[in-house]
Structure 1
Amino acid sequence: MAPRANWKGFLRLSLVSCPVALFPATSDSEKISFNQINRNTGHRIKYLKVDADTGEEVAADDIMKGFKVDTDTYVEVSKDELDNIALDSTRTIEIDEFVPKADIDPRYAIRPYYLVPDGKIGHDAYAVIRETIRDMGKVAIGRLVLTNREHIIALEPLKNGLMGTLLRYPYEVRDEAEYFDDIQDVKVTKDMLDLARHIVEQKAAEFEPGKFEDRYESALVDLVNQKRSGVALKPHGKARPGTNVVDLMTALQQSLKGGGAAPKPKKPPKRVAGQKEMLLPITGKKEPAPAKKAARPVAKGVTKGRRAG
């Protein structure tokens, strides 16, 4: 099932406009996630909202927002007060300007979205705006209101559609000087640069996201399947210890000798719906136990007949 649109409205470039819908371009829903359960009962843990001092549960109607000024001192803000300052969404992404993509610092990017025509009308206007941005070779900058907050969005063509990237405001980006000022100014010799350049050339490749596998996620899938099947858990290999090379020049030379062409990572099998497709079905497909043997005991860590969530 296609995800629900996060926002619907209009995209406008001067007098040209069209209805559009904004969809998230990324998702974490296919990653393995866990619930917390009671070790003794196998029941899922439930969280309650309680008063930090009295320990008593607080009803939803009695909960309000507060800005912490100092220890145990808050400025209380009601829902009506927040509603009064909320920005009115015009339901329009107005393109304000066009900028070179290189001018957008990568630190300002928050998350990508797909902006698509909403409905059967407006495809012509959508195409005009998309191709104008493409022909300009720049990124269109606009604003939109999501959850009462105004966001900057950068629009650029992606095949036959538009990708919008939400951008941070300057006050949200930390100054690099706070972290880089203490880095020593080291003189790098030409010999070291030449050796390092050879290593880079040996490992040069084209970026193909599909050839990288989320090894930890795959290990989680294996762990869950093994426990559900009642088989013994297979230990995973340990990380290789680092080499104790003190001299940088020696390290570069050893890297070059042991280099050669960088081995290509194995391509993981294509998974249409993500890692969770690799989980065993709910019914399971266990091997029938031989008649002369007793039924296989439930694997340790699995609560028979109970579900965690």
Structure 2
Amino acid sequence: MPRAIWSGAISFGLVNVPVKLYAATSPKTVRFNQLNARTGARIKQKRVDASTGEEVAYEDIVKGYEIGPDRWVTIEPEELDALDPKATHTIDVEAFVDLAEIDPIYYDASYYLAPAPGGARPYHLLTEALAAEGKVAVGRVVLRSRQQLCALRPVGEVLTLTTMLWGDEVNAPDGLDGFDAAGEPASPKELEMARALIEMQSGPFDPGDYHDEYRQRVLALIEQKANGETVAPAPAPAPAAAVPDLMAALEASLAAVRDGADAVPGPGRPGTGRPRPAKPKPRAKKSTPAAPTPAVRAPARKRGS
């Protein structure tokens, strides 16, 4: 049974919703430990005082912020908590916005919210109201002593909380190397063919269509070596060939999709574990609903904390 990692309340207007927070994701990254190549023993890292070289006990370590060369300001955890005690156990809703207004680049990590004792009725009320209005609640929450922007979204009968980056944490794309905004525009024919290629490979998103093939190969390698098998190094992949003729590349891509060739990767291709459809079906155009139900978006996982 999953354990709650935080408990508090959602606050909107004069309504409080007691909730508990649970992790919504389980990263499957293969993690390695550092070993001594000569003895095979695991390497241990120690916290050492840079001035004395002596190991420092965990209880003697404090937080410090560098304000200049070898000049630090130390901060106690209680001092940080005192800056906003109300927000420490409250998700303060500040606005309700349309899901489409939030660019996914702002999303960070996702969690599930469940009603705490006494919170079932207001919890389901908020969930149903958000779904009916097609809205996302944007607010603030303190997790691990850090105040974060967050979005509350209904997924079926469950509320999700997704932490978000602040506006000044997202870099503008201005000045990117190799990006020429004033480059030669695509011809109408090229645009038509590119749109046709996108349409032919369009379909609903199913997470089961996609697998971490690199992780699977790493685990297979570990199993082989654990069984004493000799593993020959794989040949280096051939460098990608330059495409001198964009129109020819588009025509070849369209032909590959029509003929069911393996040249164009994607869901349903050999190696993905799912059968390829015999013939793509044209999608009927749908009118935009007045109040769409928010869907789950997978945020990029942020390194570190």
User: TM-score, normalization: structure 1?
Assistant: 0.75
Q: Are 2:11 and 2:92, in contact at CA under 8 Å, matched by a contact in 1?
A: yes
1:23 maps to which residue?
22
2 CA distance for matches of 1:74 and 1:32? 39
1:87 maps to which residue?
84
CA separation of 1:83 and 1:139: change in aligned 2, threshold 3 A: closer
Question: Which secondary structure state, in structure 1, belongs to the residue aligned with residue 176 of structure 2?
Answer: helix
Unaligned runs of 5+ in 1: 270-309
Bigger shift: 247-256 or 223-232?
247-256
Q: Are 2:67 and 2:73, in contact at CA under 8 Å, matched by a contact in 1?
A: no
User: Which deviations, in whole Å up to 9, do the C-alpha atoms of 1:94-131 show, x marking residues without a partner?
Assistant: 33321111221222211111111124x32122111111
1:65 maps to which residue?
63
* 1:179 aligned residue (176, 181, 187): 176
Bigger shift: 143-152 or 239-248?
239-248
1:146 aligns with 2:143: yes
1 CA distance for matches of 2:77 and 2:227? 54
1:11 maps to which residue?
10
1:235 is displaced (CA, Å) by 4.7
Q: Are 1:22 and 1:116, in contact at CA under 8 Å, matched by a contact in 2?
A: yes
2:209 maps to which residue?
211
1:75 maps to which residue?
72
1:236 is displaced (CA, Å) by 4.5
> Which contiguous aligned blocks of 4+ residues in structure 1 show a shift greater than 6 angstroms?
none
2 CA distance for matches of 1:122 and 1:59? 42
Would you say how many aligned residue pairs link Structure 1 and Structure 2? 265
CA separation of 1:84 and 1:93: change in aligned 2, threshold 3 A: closer
| % same residue | 34
Bigger shift: 185-194 or 169-178?
169-178
1:36 aligns with 2:34: yes
1:23 is displaced (CA, Å) by 1.2
* 1:155 aligned residue (152, 155, 165): 152
2:249 maps to which residue?
251
Residues 160-239 of structure 1 aligned to structure 2 (within 5 Å): 160-179=157-176, 183-185=180-182, 186-233=184-231, 235-236=233-234, 238-239=236-237
1 CA distance for matches of 2:22 and 2:226? 35
2 CA distance for matches of 1:160 and 1:80? 36
1 CA distance for matches of 2:213 and 2:167? 35
1:188 is aligned with what amino acid? Answer: A
CA separation of 1:50 and 1:135: change in aligned 2, threshold 3 A: same
2 CA distance for matches of 1:140 and 1:67? 33
User: Which deviations, in whole Å up to 9, do the C-alpha atoms of 1:231-277 show, x marking residues without a partner?
Assistant: 222554653542333222232233333442456144559xxxxxxxx
Bigger shift: 165-174 or 144-153?
144-153
2:133 maps to which residue?
136
2:19 is aligned with what amino acid? Answer: V
1:46 is displaced (CA, Å) by 0.4
CA separation of 1:34 and 1:195: change in aligned 2, threshold 3 A: same
Q: Are 1:89 and 1:145, in contact at CA under 8 Å, matched by a contact in 2?
A: no
1:138 is displaced (CA, Å) by 0.9
